[in-house]
Amino acid sequence: MDSSLAISGGPRLSNREWPRWPQPGDRALKSLEDVLTSGRWTISCAYQGRDSYERQFASAFADYCGSAMCVPISTGTASLAIALEACGVGAGDEVIVPGLSWVASASAVLGINAVPVLVDVDPATYCLDPAATEAAITERTRAITVVHAYSAVADLDALLDIARRHGLPLIEDCAHAHGAGFRGRPVGAHGAAGVFSMQGSKLLTCGEGGALVTDDADVALRAEHLRADGRVVRRGPVGVGEMELEETGRMMGSNACLSEFHAAVLLDQLELLDGQNARRTRAADHLTDRLSELGMTAQATAPGTTARAYYRYLVRLPDEVLAVAPVERFAHALTAELGFAVTQTHRPLNDNPLNRPSSRRRFATDARYLERVDPSRFDLPAAKRAHESVVSFSHEVLLAPLDAIDDIARAFRKVLDNVREVSR
């Protein structure tokens, strides 16, 4: 039997149909049809005599996250920017940002004219490193943002302690972590605010969407103003045909409301989330056992994690393999064997083509500000090491049956056995 690699013209190890994403539930089509005929397609349209899907989702997601309040928002990026402003961050302020993350972790800070301070990650969890975080705090620091990255929960014990001692709000970015938990409580409910993305690749998705959860009534009220052009949902009775959003004049905002279509889909998806997460965790544990036998090291999570949510599955290659073949070639070989995309981590934000403030005149307020927001001024060795040694694939693959997960392990073995072929 031909054992050569698929990238060299050999047979592909697997020809399976892997799960696709997103996956609608039984409720979605009926709910979308209901929105279409309801006479109300967004919270900023006139009240029609019943709770909007947006209000229904806000209540359901607050309960799911163990938080007192939820403010639905149009995107995860907008949710993060609104959380920062709602926590008092403004022009010129410094915000701690993990150096290994999607570009929105930095661009949301730039979007409110603040300064992203890129901080290195823990080499085992790839989440914000507490020691590096504390070392980066200055008199200008006004907030810490932490991303629960890929499938890990960050060290909230240490980061909350740092935040409290320095009098800083900790904002949890849970874009990868819908359903994850720390010390028995959902992520997002530990800091001053938790923010979520519901973009199309996410574990809970409606295509594009976001949310902010918090126990702080003042943070929630400011977030409401910021996402609805300075308006908030009325607390009293609303008549049919009246506006449910009330103009308070207290705070200027912008339009970042979530549409009724998106909210309806999210209610459908929320019903499926826990079952899907359980399947992903079972598959991930099975694969980790198989890959550890091959010398691979799966992404760790912080002590205190009580539930993991696998947005992406990450595993680090052994040094002896990387000495022969670069990680991008190894990922390419796995992709060819399996028929789904295997990639590296995000590129570190100090050397990421998506994080270039100098490319937009919007940020050229003055020369000093451009110097402060130049990402190349930060050194991120652990993030760089992760990008150069870790391969990753998306969560929907983990919804496949366990015999398909075994195919993934066999593909790793095949590529390892032919690693010199990978390096060509």
Is 359's pLDDT higher than 90?
A: yes
CATH code at position 394: 3.90.1150.10
The string of DSSP codes covering 67-94 is -SEEEEES-HHHHHHHHHHHTT--TT-E
Residues 300 and 209 in one domain: no
Domain that holds residue 407: 6-21+273-346+384-422
Question: pLDDT, tens digit, for every residue of 18-36?
Answer: 999 999 999 999 999 999 9
211, 243, 270 - which closes a domain: 270
The count of domains in the chain is 2
Report the range of poorest mean pLDDT among 92-101, 173-182, 358-367, 373-382.
358-367
Sheet holding 297-298, edge to edge: 297-298, 312-316, 390-394
Same structural domain for residues 219 and 338?
no
- 324 and 208 co-located in one domain: no
81 part of a folded domain: yes
Mean pLDDT over residues 146-155, rounded?
98
Q: Does one domain contain both 264 and 115?
A: yes
Q: Are residues 84 and 228 in the same domain?
A: yes
**For the whole prediction, is pTM greater than 0.85?**
yes
Looking at residue 2, what is its pLDDT?
Answer: 62
Mean pLDDT (whole number) for 249-261: 97
Burial of 186 per CB tally in 10 Å (0-12, 13-18, 19+): buried
Q: Provide mean pLDDT across the span 29-47.
A: 97
Supply the pLDDT for residue 364.
87
Which CATH number covers residue 124? Answer: 3.40.640.10
66-85 mean pLDDT: 98
Last residue of a domain, one of 204, 239, 270: 270
Within this chain, do residues 15 and 78 fall inside the same structural domain, yes or no?
no
1 pLDDT higher than 90: no
Residue 214 and residue 258 in one domain: yes
Mean per-residue pLDDT of the chain: 97
C-alpha to C-alpha distance for 293 and 307, rounded to whole angstroms: 24
Q: Does residue 363 or residue 124 have the better pLDDT?
A: 124
Residues 220 and 320 in one domain: no
pLDDT tens string 301-329: 999 999 999 999 999 999 999 999 999 99
Q: Quick one: 286 and 306 in the same domain?
A: yes
At 3, the pLDDT band (50, 70, 90 cuts) reads confident
From 252, 270, 288, the end of a domain falls on 270
**Strand runs (DSSP E) across 148-283, as ranges?**
170-173, 181-182, 185-186, 193-197, 210-214, 231-233, 245-247
Q: What is the mean pLDDT of residues 277-303?
A: 98
Are residues 219 and 304 both part of a single domain?
Answer: no
143 and 33 co-located in one domain: yes
Domain-embedded: residue 364: no
Q: How far apart are CA 178 and CA 195, in angstroms?
A: 10
Task: Say yes or no: 198 and 338 in one domain.
Answer: no
